[in-house]
Structure 1
Amino acid sequence: MLSGIKIIDFTRYFPGPFATLRLADWGAEVIKIEDPAGDPARIMDTIDGNEGCIFRCNSRGKKSKVFDLKNVQERTKVWELIRGADVVIESFRPGVPKRLGIDYETLKQINPSLVYCSLSGYGQNTSISPLAGHDLNYMAYSGVLDQLTDAADRPIKPNIALADLVGGIAASEAILAGLVQKARTGEGCYLDVSLTESVMALMGLHAAHHSATSEEHGINDHGIAYHIYETKDGRYVTIGAIEEKFWQNFCQAVNREDLLPGHRTKPEPNNPYYLEMATLFKNRTFGEWAEFAVKVDCCLAPVLKTSELASQKFVQERGFIEHKWGMNYVATHYMPGRSFLSGTSPYPKLGEDN
């Protein structure tokens, strides 16, 4: 779908490369511009002395060119590349692109129809824009981290880089909107994408709820029918039977219609309905509940481990995970009728396309 679109990618680490991976998977030509030391992600989480998972996962199907942007002659070569590009994306701290001669005001003189995306932690023009940060910091500033808590209401450190990933999706979305405008009008644009704001966008319902009720939490407070329960063998399953019909289906399927009145009650230690539910789920194994989940229409799902994803029938049916080049790769989009890795290449070696 994006065949013929050329993207010059100055980003490093995780969010920007994830954004351009999504575009590469749709067929765009993505050229990573790296300094002589390379993207630092190359040496993070290394495997057998080679590039690590973060770099490999986000760099498939891309090219790599090495330029020292502090060198005027090298910078001129980059400008020539940009002259024929559709998109530039960078993730430096605000002000750095100007010092390197790759800021939007400079590059639009070279290519007036350029779609230029700046992806940063806090945006280009806020009081905290100059601050350094990483995913956990952005989730903290966004309010999202306060919603991810343990049983004692303490914020947890998630095992997924939520702000980085959501920010990458937001950047790819913004770039696609810029390309639509370019196709319609021939005009380029400047896109200022903040990782903090991107993940803060998930807080819209929370912010509205708080302004109306003064409550900090509670939008998922649907009682014992919307909860996570432990199984007989120490695994976990989820139930999301918010609607009466799904709650009724569940209670009937487990022969516990006496639980029906407890539908909206809270999962608290002094609630007998909650205690009965906790005991009920511990009467069956994870595998038994997983089988139950696909037979009974009640919004029940097992909590899968990473190691279990590729073997799931529903994953295999749509080819969303593939094993190639010694690793499992997860698609960024469902691509009907073809393998998402078909016609693509593994991660590029540093400067292999110079």
Structure 2
Amino acid sequence: MLSEYRVIEFSDYPAGSILGMHLADQGAEVIKVEPITTSQEIELMEKNFISKYEKQDLEYSVWNRGKKSFALNWIDRSNLLKLISISDIFIENIDIHTRENARPRRKKEKNKVDLKISYEIAKKVNPEIIYIKFTSFPKNHPYEHLPSKEE
């Protein structure tokens, strides 16, 4: 049904993942963009958060079925913009604090992290893009910049 559509999913919360799952179920090519994880981060997860991730294994498997995966180095957004340029739909559901806390992998690349993506930026590289952004609170809401996770 949707086999002619390519979807880029830039999401780490259920709303974006579930939308991507439904589009993949309908035949769209869905590419989930995920950060490259360093061995130190994996070690930290194993020590502190393993029970959280064990709980989420089933959810992750279900919500990401039928999708392709693309590991992206979050140093800059150029590769993400390349994907947007060849896609039909872009789903964004990344918490603003996730973006602000993303960091370069090497000390000399300090201050080069730029994950800011907006409709205007996406439209410049692909004028036909359908841009879907999930936020916890509406624009100009007093809580607009507070982190939130829908579960």
- Shorter-chain TM range is 0.7 to 0.9
1:119 maps onto 2:104 in alignment = no
Contact 1:90 1:118 in 2 (8 A): yes
Residue equivalent to 1:31: 31
Residue equivalent to 2:73: 68
CA distance in 2, matches of 1:61, 1:88: 17
CA distance in 2, matches of 1:124, 1:8: 23
1:121–1:101 distance in 2 versus 1, CA, 3 Å = closer
Contact 1:89 1:118 in 2 (8 A): yes
Cα distance per residue 1:63-110 (max 9 Å; x no partner): 111112323xxx32222221110011111245959x414222111101
Identity of matched residues, %: 31
CA distance in 2, matches of 1:9, 1:121: 17
SS of corresponding position for 1:17: helix
Alignment of 1:259-338 (within 5 A): none
Contact 1:91 1:120 in 2 (8 A): yes
Alignment of 1:157-236 (within 5 A): 161=151
CA distance in 2, matches of 1:101, 1:130: 14
Contact 1:45 1:52 in 2 (8 A): yes
Q: Structure 1 regions of 5+ residues with no counterpart?
A: 136-160, 162-354
1:103 maps onto 2:111 in alignment = no
Residue equivalent to 1:294: none
CA distance in 2, matches of 1:125, 1:88: 23
Contact 2:30 2:67 in 1 (8 A): yes
Residue equivalent to 2:54: 46
SS of corresponding position for 2:124: helix
Residue equivalent to 1:6: 6
1:101–1:130 distance in 2 versus 1, CA, 3 Å = closer
Cα distance per residue 1:250-281 (max 9 Å; x no partner): xxxxxxxxxxxxxxxxxxxxxxxxxxxxxxxx
1:91 aligned to which of 87, 90, 93: 93
The one-letter code sitting in structure 1 at the alignment partner of 2:4 is: G
CA distance in 2, matches of 1:65, 1:128: 32
Residue equivalent to 1:343: none
Contact 2:96 2:147 in 1 (8 A): no
The one-letter code sitting in structure 2 at the alignment partner of 1:61 is: G
Q: CA deviation at 1:124?
A: 2.9
SS of corresponding position for 2:66: coil
CA distance in 1, matches of 2:133, 2:140: 12
CA distance in 1, matches of 2:143, 2:96: 11
How many residue pairs were aligned? 126
Contact 1:7 1:29 in 2 (8 A): yes
The one-letter code sitting in structure 2 at the alignment partner of 1:56 is: S
Residue equivalent to 2:60: 55
CA distance in 2, matches of 1:45, 1:69: 22
SS of corresponding position for 1:120: coil
SS of corresponding position for 2:7: strand
Q: CA deviation at 1:45?
A: 4.3
Residue equivalent to 2:109: none
Q: CA deviation at 1:119?
A: 0.5
Residue equivalent to 2:20: 20
Residue equivalent to 1:78: 80
